[in-house]
Amino acid sequence: MELLPRDQIAFQRMLDTIRRNYERFGFLPVETPVFELSEVLLTKSGGETERQVYFAQSTGALQKENQGLPELALRFDLTVPLARYVAEHEHELAFPFRRYQIQRVYRGERAQRGRFREFYQCDIDVVGKDTLSIRFDAEILAVIHAVFSELGIGDFTVQLNNRKLMRGFFEGLGVAEGSRQMDVLREVDKLDKRGADDVRETLTGAGFGLSQDTVQKILDFVAVRSSSHADALARLDALGQGSDTFNQGVGELREVLQLVHALGVPESDYRLNFSIARGLDYYTGTVYETMLDGYRQIGSICSGGRYDDLASHYTKSKLPGVGISIGLTRLFWQLREAGLVAGVDESSVQAMVALMEDNQLTESLDIARRLRAGGINTEVQMEPKKLGKQFQYASRAGIRFVVLAGEDELARGVVTVKDLAREQQFEVTREQLASTLRVELEQTRALAGR
Burial 106-137 (b: 16+ CB within 10 A, else e): bbeeeeeeeebeebbbbbbbbbbbeebebebb
Q: What integer is the mean pLDDT of 253-281? A: 91
For domain 351-447, give its CATH number from 3.40.1080.10, 3.40.50.800, 3.40.50.2300, 3.40.50.740.
3.40.50.800
pLDDT bin (cut points 50, 70, 90) of residue 450 is low
Pick from 213, 150, 222, 214: which is nearest to 185 by CA? 222
State how far the alpha carbon of 166 is from the alpha carbons of 73, 78, 183, 272, 401, in Å: 35, 26, 13, 13, 57
324 pLDDT above the threshold of 70: yes
DSSP secondary structure letters along 164-203: HHHHHHHHHTT--SHHHHHHHHHHHTTHHHH-HHHHHHHH
State how far the alpha carbon of 126 is from the alpha carbons of 9, 135, 147, 368, in Å: 30, 11, 17, 45
Residue 140 CB coordination number (10 Å): 25
Quote helix, strand, coil % in the chain, to nearest 5: 45, 20, 35
Tell me what pLDDT residue 65 has.
61
Question: Three-state DSSP class for 246?
Answer: helix
Q: What integer is the mean pLDDT of 182-196? A: 80
Q: What is the largest CA-CA distance in the chain?
A: 91
Pick from 7, 3, 92: which is nearest to 348 by CA? 7
Question: Three-state DSSP class for 4?
Answer: coil
Q: How far is CA 57 from the centre of its chain?
A: 31
Q: What integer is the mean pLDDT of 415-441? A: 96
Which pLDDT tens digit goes with each residue over 267-279? 999 999 998 877 6
pLDDT bin (cut points 50, 70, 90) of residue 70 is confident
Q: Does domain 5-337 fall into CATH 3.30.930.10?
A: yes
Tell me what pLDDT residue 110 has.
78
How is the chain split into domains, by residue range?
5-337, 351-447
pLDDT bin (cut points 50, 70, 90) of residue 46 is very low
Average pLDDT, the chain: 91
Beta bridge partners of 297: none
Pick from 365, 432, 350, 348: which is nearest to 405 by CA? 365
Q: pTM for this structure?
A: 0.89
Top-confidence range, 14-23, 179-188, 277-286: 14-23
Rounded Cα distance, 82 and 100, in Å: 10
pLDDT bin (cut points 50, 70, 90) of residue 420 is very high
More confident site: 448 or 425: 425
**Domains 5-337 and 351-447 alike in fold:** no
43 pLDDT above the threshold of 60: yes
Q: What are the backbone angles phi and psi of residue 304, rounded to the nearest 5°?
A: 165, -160
Residue 330 CB coordination number (10 Å): 20
Mention every residue, 6+ apart, whose C-beta is less than 8 A from residue 185.
166, 277, 280
DSSP secondary structure letters along 275-323: T--S-TTT--SEEEEEEETT-GGG--SEEEEEES-TTTTT-SS---EEE
pLDDT bin (cut points 50, 70, 90) of residue 44 is low
34 pLDDT above the threshold of 80: yes
